[in-house]
Amino acid sequence: MAEPLVECVPNFSEGRDPEVLASIARAIESTDEISLLGSDCGAAANRSVFTFAGPPRAVAEAVLASARTAFGLIDMARHRGVHPRMGALDVCPFVPLAGSRMDECVELSRETAGRLSEELGVPVYLYEESASRPERRSLAFLRAGGYEALPGKLSRSEWAPDFGRAVFVPRWGATVMGARPFLIAFNVNLDSRDVGAAKAIAARIRESGGPLRESGGGLKRGADGEVLRAPGRLRGVRAIGWLIEEYGCAQVSINILDFKASPLHAVFEAVREEAAELGIGLRGSEMIGLVPLEAMVEAGRFYSRGKGSEGGGGGELLGDGEEGQALVRSAVSALGLEAVASFPIREKIVEYALAARRRRG
């Protein structure tokens, strides 16, 4: 029986110093049985996302090795970037792959969080499936106010970390760690620099929606004074809008938590429709980290049979066959995934990347 595999996608608050990023990558790759599948670095966000996979215990060792390296090289007191963040190793999810279960990843995340906190003397919070209380499942809840709000939060008992002392470590901040299903980080570029438009589109598509406004622009409130919200279009989707200077455009940055409930093509088309209502076109998209083959094949099917068509699926094409690859190429083209950078499918699709690493190994 093949050994269980776990994917890990640590996000580090550094996207501009190639030497720091190379050192973190070496720490991950030097861990036995670990395959570093890819990395995405953003200067504007000043953030980098590494994706690696391997047996559970090896994944834990790779996380700790990369964190030790980051501890000596990243100083959060000097960090500036557009992406929400509160720590040098900002968030570190464990994702079950072949042969592994969510409950096993939960236990692995908790053990690793305890070891990280003890070794580096930093606060660690648990989120998603590993959360110690319901409100802490949400990364947005834990990260509210960012690094700058952390000293005040740590002074309050309700913000005691799950591991480590409630003490502010200026160089590090705090880390969020946990187990979750596969998340697709997918950004859609607007043919505009209008950040307000990007934020409005994000509010309309994300599951949590956004505040309702009066005709004069003020917030609409209920009888109890609470701000009223309009629900968003897409289940299992989180989104924010911002300006990416290196691309010269505004961007809707999206996390798809359930790509079966809200497929890639549905998310892209929702952004297209909302942007069109504002008189704005799209300038392609980008994938941060890796994407499951199934998600790309389904998008390829949608675009191959025509937008909005209800045609049949044609069976599971999740292998490495010619027809499956043709669907993947169709998705890459229709989603504009090569608008700002190349999209090598052997590196960006998790099943292809793992297979390639096994062949080389």
Geometric angle at alpha carbon 176, from 170 and 178, rounded to 5°: 160
Of 131, 114, 132, 112, nearest to 123 by C-alpha is 114
Q: Pick the catalytic residue from 68, 83, 193, 272.
A: 83
Ordered DSSP codes for 28-91: HHTSTT-EEEEEEEETTTTEEEEEEEE-HHHHHHHHHHHHHHHHHH--GGG---SS---BSEEE
CB 119 within 8 A of CB 27: no
Of 44, 29, 129, nearest to 80 by C-alpha is 44
Q: Give the Cα separation of 275 and 281 in Å (integer).
A: 6
Kindly give, in sequence order, each residue whose CB lies less than 8 Å from that of residue 209, ignoring residues fewer than 6 positions away.
203, 229, 230, 231, 232
83 has catalytic annotation: yes
HEC profile of 155-212: CCHHHCCCECCCCCCCCCECEEEEECCCCEEEEEEECCCCHHHHHHHHHHHCCCCEEC
CB 265 within 8 A of CB 302: yes
Burial 290-315 (b: 16+ CB within 10 A, else e): bbbbbbbbbbbbbbeeeeeeeeeeee
CB 14 within 8 A of CB 21: yes
Burial (CB count within 10 angstroms: exposed 0-12, middle 13-18, buried 19+), residue 346: exposed
Just list the catalytic residues.
83
